Structure 1
Amino acid sequence: MEKQFVDLLSEELKLQEAVSGEHTRHMNITFAEAKRVASQYQREAEKCNAATETCEEARERAEAFLSKERKVTALWEQRARKMGWEGE
């Protein structure tokens, strides 16, 4: 009877080890996949940040160019008015 009990305990321990091993394997696979996806999202975020910086720089250049154009337009309009032009 005692041998049966020891055998049952031994069998239970083997099953628990098997379940634990499978759980650890599944956890490692899930963790590796999560790291891969996180890395992919990080790369995409870096691309997005770079594109945003490029767009922001282009917007700043366009804004500066527009400001210069408005000044030139105002200067020409002022000259035209001095010469008798009446705008809308």
Structure 2
Amino acid sequence: MTAQPIHPHEPERVPRNAEGIAAALSGERRMEFYRELLAAAPEQAEGVLRRWWCEAQLDTDPAGERLTAAALDGTLSTTAVSDLIERRRAAGLPVE
């Protein structure tokens, strides 16, 4: 099963590559990203890029600060995976 964004961005706000991720991060975080990417073994690089892409997406999201505060406060709304699966089944969508 793949998750799709609720509000997709066309084109994506942050390109899914090292250059795009670095451009979206502030100075100190950009250096942290490069240090982690350069220290990663080849088989770990994809995971580093994926994690930092998520960080860059949140950093550039206009609602990012609100979402971060809600997550830290424990007030961010969540949905159980079982509920999502049931919604997809009810809509006739695949759940594998």
User: TM-score per shorter chain, which class?
Assistant: under 0.3
Higher relative contact order (CA 8 A, sep 6+): 2
TM-score by length of 2: 0.23
Question: Which structure dedicates a bigger proportion of its chain to helix?
Answer: 1
TM-score by length of 1: 0.25
